[in-house]
Structure 1
């Protein structure tokens, strides 16, 4: 936890934290840019968080299942390299608003150093987050209500998504993998590593 700014910082935690947010999204935006809130947010011009609560894992999964799309789809966004928690959170809200996605999207945030010089640290942090993303995906897929889980990985988040899917395959969790739809946006994965992941 980042006690100074709220949310979370780049330090690695021992346990996953589950939270629920409600956002106000400016109605007349012209592009995908995010206007961050000031000390006095203007909901007509700025994105703003107007509700936040921490949940135990079971309650989080219940809330996620309650907002599953009518076709049984759940969406998870996994952010990339050089992203702060706050940036990832607001980007998730922007993607959901601009894509007009029904239901509530899920952000899986891993502890990025949120610095250009933090590339190696980010790669390690992404790798250390595989089992947590695995746990989240497995928990959601256990419900018969969930028919498809869209795993949308951007940049180094794409690397984390592929490593998690690879881990699920090596665990013989085809029941989970069969529900996955993987989207990689500008994936930060070496081509030979990617071929190796696909082979597994």
Structure 2
């Protein structure tokens, strides 16, 4: 009898976790194919994002698809320009309802230019001279190629980040049923992301590199940085900040990765949320090991483990309202969070600059919890500074 009750409770838990993911999957399936067909624009758009895209995906012969969710034979580069429509909410993407897209109302691609690998350095040279910083974004699980392009374009536009935008997109099939395939695809792409990071660092036009990685992309980013550290003796000094948003990362693995980055590592900022439903499913699929992005800072066991590492700031976004329904992409979809990130990025600051643990304290967690204030609004974000110097 007890076994039957336990099985029922487990089944009920799975049902509660999978229901919102299934809704999200159905919403994704409703989007048309071929969204990246370039369109001509007669009038200037409200905004545009000119990005360098590096991918390990297999190329597609289908018009407007460009790359599939399968694994390619090597690393490919493309220059893509995305037009942003007017009259939209910060954090939102106006998906094209049909092909070609209507740039007056929807996100639209206006240029697609493949770049030979030996010509990538010229892309950096052609960027405006005022830009000397690079933001490299690594997306997460269940992300099609077009979704990675539009999400990064949305984030760059909404933050007004004065960075050279570089998207690293790895072979995700964009289906929630392919979690294990996606995880192995991230593994498949480690050396290629390390190459992209090294290329940015070696460019004379680049003074600073910031890495922003979401969900499963956080594991990939940490592995690539670890690879650079082991090969070169340290993470290159130009890589100053690494931001991990909702990291789908085994907490035990993360601790080992941080150790192997060495003492001269970038500043690490983590965005976590106890009510992240996507990471709840990930935990079930990963042997019930806590994911870093869903860590409970009110649990002394976890706060004590994080305190062992220096230079890590954890921002708990659990209380932050709005954004996506799964509480998994607040860094890009929650308007106040997007503005805060934009303010920090524009100023060339670490996300955690001016965050003093314990100041304006709202709750005592390891003696290091406070709020982040970004005028003219205040965000209900708890801050845990692990071993901060």
Which TM bucket (shorter chain)?
Answer: over 0.9
- What is the Cα deviation at residue 152 of structure 1? 0.7
Match of 1:34 in 2: 93
Match of 1:64 in 2: 124
**In structure 2, how many angstroms separate the alpha carbons of the residues matched to 1:44 and 1:102?**
24
Number of residue pairs matched by the alignment: 199
Helix, strand or coil at the partner of 1:183: strand
**In structure 2, how many angstroms separate the alpha carbons of the residues matched to 1:27 and 1:104?**
22
TM-score using structure 1 length: 0.93
- What is the Cα deviation at residue 71 of structure 1? 6.0
Helix, strand or coil at the partner of 1:177: coil
TM-score using structure 2 length: 0.49
CA deviations 1:103-142 (Å, max 9, x no partner) are 5411100001211111111111001101001111111111
Matched, 1:16 2:75: yes
Match of 2:61 in 1: 3
Please say if residues 112 and 125 of structure 1, whose CA atoms lie closer than 8 Å, have aligned partners that are also in contact.
yes
Matched, 1:111 2:111: no
Helix, strand or coil at the partner of 2:121: helix
Matched, 1:190 2:250: yes
- What is the Cα deviation at residue 68 of structure 1? 6.5
Q: How does 1:1-200 map to 2 (within 5 A)?
A: 1-4=59-62, 5-37=64-96, 38-67=98-127, 70=130, 72-174=132-234, 177-180=236-239, 181-200=241-260
Indicate the structure (1 or 2) with the bigger Cα radius of gyration.
2
Please say if residues 131 and 164 of structure 2, whose CA atoms lie closer than 8 Å, have aligned partners that are also in contact.
no
Structure 2: state its 5+ residue gaps: 1-58, 261-389
CA 1:87–1:69 in 2, change beyond 3 Å: closer, same or farther? farther
Helix, strand or coil at the partner of 1:182: strand
Please say if residues 18 and 54 of structure 1, whose CA atoms lie closer than 8 Å, have aligned partners that are also in contact.
yes
Structure 1: state its 5+ residue gaps: none
Helix, strand or coil at the partner of 1:22: strand
Highest RCO, 1 vs 2 (Cα 8 Å, sep ≥ 6): 1
- What is the Cα deviation at residue 65 of structure 1? 4.1
**In structure 2, how many angstroms separate the alpha carbons of the residues matched to 1:144 and 1:126?**
29
Match of 2:300 in 1: none
Please say if residues 162 and 197 of structure 1, whose CA atoms lie closer than 8 Å, have aligned partners that are also in contact.
yes
**In structure 1, how many angstroms separate the alpha carbons of the residues matched to 2:253 and 2:92?**
32
Please say if residues 124 and 203 of structure 2, whose CA atoms lie closer than 8 Å, have aligned partners that are also in contact.
no
